[in-house]
Amino acid sequence: MGFKRVVVTGIGALTPLGNTAPEYWEGLQNGVSGAAPITRFDASKFKTRFACEVKGFDPLDFMDRKEARKVDPFVQYAIASTDEAVKDADLDFENLDTNRIGVIWGSGIGGLKTFYEEVASFAKGDGTPRFNPFFIPKMIVDIAPGHISMKYGLRGPNFSCVSACASATNAMIDAFNYIRMGVADIIVSGGSEAIINEAGIGGFNAMHALSTRNDDPATASRPFDKDRDGFVAGEGSGTLILESLDHALARGAKIYAEVAGGGLSADAHHITATHPEGLGAKLVMGNVLKDAGMEPGDIDYINVHGTSTPIGDPGEVKAILDLFGEHAYALNISSTKSMTGHLLGAAGAVEAIATIFAVKNDVVPPTINHFTDDPDLDNKLNFTFNKAQKREVKAAMSNTFGFGGHNASLVIKKYIP
């Protein structure tokens, strides 16, 4: 038996640009920056005092007060975006085989706020252990898909992927594989992250990973710009309903796009830095094309990892040039992290959603905040600087790379019956 085709039938997004998928897409098309001074805590003594926070989110819109206290924000975010995606896909679980519906989720860090607060409270005390009984269940990464499965009664494959900033893409690739192999009919997949707290910002500051452009947060995320100085921390969640084509057609579901392939690789180079020659990036893009049965010339747009770091951006550009050759100059390339910031383990989910909307609507979202060309990059490439561009997008690629050298990439294409 051959592989089943896999399509996207529902989308949900909670992002720094908007708390629903349509709001998120509108913000992307309009080149809106989600960066602003941090409100989650007093950041006045931190090197970086801004981030891309989710705005106006109330967990009580999705759960009661008692439940909200039992879960970390990264789980609250996951439940919120999944609520939207389930409604968008018009899933009637009472009339579906929930034994064949799973949840595969990604988060790089999980309940960091919970961990920080519990340990800080203990450290300030007299040494007597007084920990919240929900400390561990609130913190662990796999609790997000657990809560989603319990909310909807989904008994199919259920687990989390952790590969730093590639986590959500890894999760979606696993979901894609389980569906095309016939193990499940539908899988709720994506990722969530909530690291805008003292430990998250302080930890990334200590690594010199974050931009410190405190005087102008909105322009701080500058992928491929000469004066980029680090990434901007983001938070939020993205959910995709992945479904076998035959199952989707049988229930009359709307179809956004088709998932054509997934690719994985490792840099085997450094704990935090991507390979300077882009070897892992080139390998993962080649692997995803092979899995999709496609050639470099079949790709119209790449939603790049593009974090706005001095080392990372050039390596990905070199990988694209090495793999795509002359076709690289026919591509649109953009980094939506210039607007959302870096959602870490959730990045792959919200960027896959951006890629799906680009394919569906034939609009490439921009890389904003470009002011000065970097002479070390090939500026003949179309980085879609500062303004969205309309073009036919038959197929697109979404890249995510994580600390530890983990690389994951998806190819999304137009659904053609």
Length of the chain: 417
Categorize the per-residue pLDDT at 8 as very low, low, confident or very high, splitting at 50, 70 and 90. Answer: very high
Same domain membership, residue 281 and residue 186? no
| Predicted structure pTM score | 0.97
The 10s digit of each residue's pLDDT in 108-121 is: 999 999 999 999 99
In a domain, 183, yes or no: yes
State the Cα–Cα distance between residues 124 and 120, nearest whole angstrom.
Answer: 6
In a domain, 404, yes or no: yes
Give per-residue burial for 283-293: e unless 16+ CB within 10 Å, then b. bbbbbbbebbe
In a domain, 93, yes or no: yes
- 250, 275, 293 - which closes a domain: 250
pLDDT score, position 2? 87
- State the CB neighbour count (10 A cutoff) for residue 335: 30
Same domain membership, residue 59 and residue 90? yes
For residue 171 the two structure tokens come to 């999760």
- 218, 250, 282 - which closes a domain: 250
106 by DSSP, 3-state: which?
A: strand
234 by DSSP, 3-state: which?
A: strand
- State the CB neighbour count (10 A cutoff) for residue 322: 16
Same domain membership, residue 155 and residue 27? yes
pLDDT above 70: residue 1:
no
Where residue 165 falls (left for φ over 0; alpha for ψ -120 to 50; beta otherwise) is: alpha
Where residue 229 falls (left for φ over 0; alpha for ψ -120 to 50; beta otherwise) is: alpha
What is the rounded radius of gyration, in angstroms, for the C-alpha atoms of the chain? 20
Same domain membership, residue 293 and residue 210? no
Residues of the domain holding 126: 6-250
Same domain membership, residue 309 and residue 217? no
Chain-centre distance of CA 2, in angstroms?
29
Categorize the per-residue pLDDT at 55 as very low, low, confident or very high, splitting at 50, 70 and 90. Answer: very high
The catalytic residue positions are 165, 305, 342
In a domain, 194, yes or no: yes
In a domain, 88, yes or no: yes
State the Cα–Cα distance between residues 24 and 213, nearest whole angstrom.
Answer: 24
Same domain membership, residue 267 and residue 198? no
Same domain membership, residue 23 and residue 91? yes
CATH of the domain at 382: 3.40.47.10
Judging by DSSP bridges, how do beta strands 395-402 and 301-303 pair with one another? parallel
More confident residue, 276 or 88: 88
In a domain, 215, yes or no: yes
DSSP string, 185-231: SEEEEEEEE---SHHHHHHHHHTT-B---TT-GGG---TTBTT---B
pLDDT score, position 24? 98
205 within 8 A of 48, measured Cβ to Cβ: yes
State the Cα–Cα distance between residues 191 and 75, nearest whole angstrom.
Answer: 10
The 10s digit of each residue's pLDDT in 56-76 is: 999 999 999 999 999 999 999
- Mean pLDDT for 93-111 is 98
State the Cα–Cα distance between residues 236 and 77, nearest whole angstrom.
Answer: 6
The 10s digit of each residue's pLDDT in 34-51 is: 999 999 999 999 999 999
Please state the φ and ψ torsions of residue 46, each to the nearest 5 degrees: -90, 150
- 229, 250, 271 - which closes a domain: 250
Same domain membership, residue 273 and residue 244? no
Tally of structural domains, the chain: 2
Average pLDDT, the chain: 97
The 10s digit of each residue's pLDDT in 336-390 is: 999 999 999 999 999 999 999 999 999 999 999 999 999 999 999 999 999 999 9
pLDDT above 90: residue 397:
yes
Percent of the chain with pLDDT over 70: 100
State the Cα–Cα distance between residues 62 and 206, nearest whole angstrom.
Answer: 35
Same domain membership, residue 363 and residue 236? no
- Mean pLDDT for 95-99 is 98
Same domain membership, residue 131 and residue 46? yes
Categorize the per-residue pLDDT at 131 as very low, low, confident or very high, splitting at 50, 70 and 90. Answer: very high
Torsion (CA) 129, 131, 136, 141 in degrees, nearest 10: -110
Same domain membership, residue 298 and residue 218? no
State the Cα–Cα distance between residues 107 and 74, nearest whole angstrom.
Answer: 8
The 10s digit of each residue's pLDDT in 169-194 is: 999 999 999 999 999 999 999 999 99
- Mean pLDDT for 316-325 is 98
Same domain membership, residue 353 and residue 217? no
